[in-house]
Each structure stands twice: as C-alpha cells, then as structure tokens.
C-alpha cells in the first residue's frame, strides 16, 4: 500500500480483556517498529523487527505485551489482561534498513481501557 | 531525566510570524537527528534528517540546525501558516531505535 496501515483506529476494551492491534507496513520495508504514546507523554519504544533477525523486545513494558511479524510483513501487537494504564495511542512505523531512511508512521490505534 | 528535552512545551504565534523550537539532548553517540511534525490524530511525519556532522538542513519553510558541541538542535519555522499547528518532535536515532523528545505543541492563530 501507499502508507503504513493500522487497525483498528480506535479500540475500547474492558479491563482484563485481551486486545490485538494490527500493522500493515509499506511493501518492501524490512524494519517495523511499535511505539506507544500516552496522553501528554512522548513516544515510547516497544519493539523492533528487522528482517529475519530476532526482534528487539527491550521496550515491552511487561510480559502482558507481545508482538509477532508474520512473513516479514504484517505485525500484530497483543496486550493480554489489559489494564487502564495501557490506554494510549499505539503507533507503528516501517522503514528500509539503513540509518538515514525515513520512518513512515501509521495513524495509530487509540486504545482505551475502561 | 529525559535524554531528549524540548522547549518550549507549547507555543502560540500569529500567522506569518517566525518561530524557533529548541531541542537539547544527552544521547551519545547517535547516527542522526530528526525533526518530525505530528498533526493531531496522525502519526509523525519527517521534516528533516541530519547526521551528527551536519549543521543545518532545510525543507521549505523549515530549517533545522545542529550544534554537536553544545548538544542542541533547533527547528526554525519561517512565515508560519495555520497548517503549521501541530506537535513538533525532536528525535535522535541511536543504532536502530528512535529516541523521542516530548515535543513542542505549536498553535498558529490568524
């Protein structure tokens, strides 16, 4: 596609439920990132996929968070047993490998845990 | 303490005026510094990318500067337009990770 596509755009869930957020990166972009933006806060790194390498999971805040990237393309971020502090905008970005390529962000998924 | 601090936190200017946003960082080393514009409800969009050896980079009405000695960067917006109203985020790239500042919220009024 022309850009990074994320779905759903908005998600309201009850505390304790599991949620799945989807990211469809730009075709040919081997790098994929998940970030979280809480209200009034900066963007927080969650996880990074690069090609077939093992993902960098160092930003995941707890073991309730996990992510997969199937076939080097679509990625799913799963949050189990959601808590209210998980409420945030979850942004996905993709890029070609290399330090000076631009990162293209999706419009994000706004997650609200009630 | 944030590794990337931006000031001011928010800024209001009149259409047509210039403004300068500041970014102070402690991240070292880094491969490049970027400025992003984030409209409400949208993902960030890249404005400029500078390596640590570059001093300035322009993109239309946006000019970014970098002083590696003082570890400061600035984004200058010339002849502001209403559509410039957005958050502007300073980002340092350390290996494969983006380290974000908390941003400056700019509002341009007619």
Residues A91, B43: contact at Cβ < 8 Å?
A: yes
- For residue A42, which of B47, B38, B63 has the smallest C-alpha distance? B38
Residues B48, B36: contact at Cβ < 8 Å?
A: no
Residues of A in contact with B99 (CB under 8 A): 45
Is B100 within 8 Å of A48 when comparing Cβ atoms? no
* Tens digits of residue pLDDT in A48-86: 998 888 888 989 999 999 999 988 789 999 999 999 999
Enumerate helices (H) and strands (E) in chain B, giving the number of each.
0, 11
Would you tell me which residues 45-74 of chain A have a C-beta closer than 8 angstroms to some C-beta of chain B? 45, 48, 50, 56
Dihedral sign from CA coordinates of B41, B43, B47, B50: positive
Q: How far is B96 from chain A (nearest CA, A)?
A: 7
* Tens digits of residue pLDDT in B63-103: 999 998 999 999 999 999 999 999 999 999 877 778 888 89
Q: What is the edge-to-edge ordering of all strands in the sheet holding A75-79? A: A5-7, A19-24, A75-79, A65-69
Is B51 within 8 Å of A100 when comparing Cβ atoms? yes
């Amino acid at each position: 596609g022309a850009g990074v596509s994320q779905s759903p755009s908005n998600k309201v869930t009850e505390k304790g439920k599991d949620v799945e957020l989807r990211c469809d990166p730009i075709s040919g972009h081997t790098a994929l990132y998940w970030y979280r933006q809480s209200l009034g806060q900066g963007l927080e790194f969650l996880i990074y996929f690069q090609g077939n390498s093992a993902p960098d999971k160092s930003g995941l805040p707890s073991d309730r968070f996990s992510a997969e990237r199937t076939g080097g393309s679509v990625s799913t971020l799963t949050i189990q047993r959601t808590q209210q502090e998980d409420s945030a905008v979850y942004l996905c970005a993709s890029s070609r490998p290399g330090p000076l390529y631009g990162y293209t962000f999706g419009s994000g998924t706004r997650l609200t845990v009630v | 303490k944030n590794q990337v601090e931006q000031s001011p936190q928010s800024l209001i200017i009149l259409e047509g005026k210039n403004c300068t946003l500041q970014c102070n960082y402690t991240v070292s080393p880094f491969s490049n510094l970027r400025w992003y514009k984030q409209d409400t409800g949208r993902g960030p969009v890249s404005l400029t990318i500078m390596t640590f050896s570059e001093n300035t980079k322009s993109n239309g009405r946006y000019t970014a500067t970098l002083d590696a000695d003082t570890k400061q960067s600035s984004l200058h917006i010339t002849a502001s337009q209403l559509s410039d109203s957005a958050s502007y985020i300073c980002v340092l790239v350390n290996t494969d990770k983006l380290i974000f500042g908390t941003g400056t919220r700019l509002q341009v009024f007619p």
